[in-house]
A and B are shown apart, each in its own frame.
Chain A
Amino acid sequence: DVVLTQTPVSLLISLGGQASISCRSSQSLVHSNGNTYLHWYLQKPGQSPQLLIYQVSNRFSGIPDRFSGSGSGTDFTLKISRVEPEDLGVYYCLQRTHNPNTFGAGTKLELK
């Protein structure tokens, strides 16, 4: 199975600050069709996960441009600028290039 390693495990950020989360894959996430099915989610406390970024760098509907995704191959990053209280929770990366689909273990974003 593809292992997604997220770092850091937790982040303490001040309001208005910037956060960066890494997701490294044990193998390339480039599909045979040329697409890279690496996505990012936020799970706020007591809620279901919500899609933030799909296919590495595309913001989902309604997601502010404070969220950005980048990367290629096996190395991906989610950046959150101007952190707001509503950004707190656990961030997960997900790969759907290979079966079984796998998630990273999560990164908890907390306020300093």
Chain B
Amino acid sequence: EVQLVESGGGLVQPGRSMKLSCAASGFTFSSFPMAWVRQAPTKGLEWVATISTSGGSTYYRDSVKGRFTISRDNAKSTLYLQMNSLRSEDTATYYCTRGPYNSGDFDYWGQGVMVTVSS
């Protein structure tokens, strides 16, 4: 069974940093691109970043470029999102999701982790 379990969220002050993790199991992690998608309270879904299988290619939405870094450790089957210079508008539930090449969708999602940026 595919499982994605996020951790590392919480309350953080504006301008500070936070690192999210996503532990994957039930599939060959190194064979799948991965992504982060977020959802602000009562709002819709917003793609944040994607990483290739090797980690050699990364893609970001403009609003997080230069502040967020997506990475992965295939030996540990874990996906990360390093978030620096956090802003109030980054407040959201962050979902880890798997993005297979062949179908081009996000097929499995974690339960999400809440990040609140507030003083």
- How far, in Å, is A26 (CB) from chain B's closest CB? 16
Indicate whether A55 sits within 8 Å of B105 (C-beta atoms), given known contacts A48-B110, A48-B112: yes
User: B interface, by DSSP: helix, strand, loop or mixed?
Assistant: loop
A102 touches B47 (CB 8 A): yes
User: What range describes how many residues of B lie at the interface?
Assistant: 20 to 34
Q: How far is the CA of A76 from the CA of B76 in the complex (A)?
A: 39
Indicate whether A49 sits within 8 Å of B95 (C-beta atoms), given known contacts A54-B103, A54-B105, A103-B47: yes
Chain B residue contacts of A92, Cβ below 8 A: 44-45
A37 touches B111 (CB 8 A): no
Chain A residue contacts of B32, Cβ below 8 A: none
Q: A99 interface residue, CB < 8 Å from B?
A: yes
Q: Could you say which of B62, B105, B110 contacts A96, with CB atoms under 8 Å apart?
A: B105
Q: A101 interface residue, CB < 8 Å from B?
A: yes
- How far, in Å, is A42 (CB) from chain B's closest CB? 11
Chain B residue contacts of A97, Cβ below 8 A: 104
Q: A45 interface residue, CB < 8 Å from B?
A: no
Q: How far is the CA of A49 from the CA of B35 in the complex (A)?
A: 14
Q: How far is the CA of A60 from the CA of B110 in the complex (A)?
A: 17
B111 touches A48 (CB 8 A): yes
Q: How far is the CA of A91 from the CA of B108 in the complex (A)?
A: 16
Q: A24 interface residue, CB < 8 Å from B?
A: no
Q: Which of A42-69 contact B (CB under 8 A)?
A: 43, 48-51, 54-55, 58, 60
| Residues of A near any B CB (own CB < 8 A) | 31, 35, 37, 39, 41, 43, 48-51, 54-55, 58, 60, 92, 94, 96-97, 99-106
Q: A48-B111, A94-B105, A106-B44 are known contacts; what are 8 more A-B pairs with Cβ within 8 Å?
A: A39-B104, A48-B95, A58-B103, A92-B45, A100-B62, A101-B50, A103-B46, A105-B44
User: What would be 7 A-B contacts, judged by CB atoms less than 8 Å apart?
Assistant: A31-B104, A39-B105, A49-B45, A49-B95, A54-B104, A94-B105, A94-B106
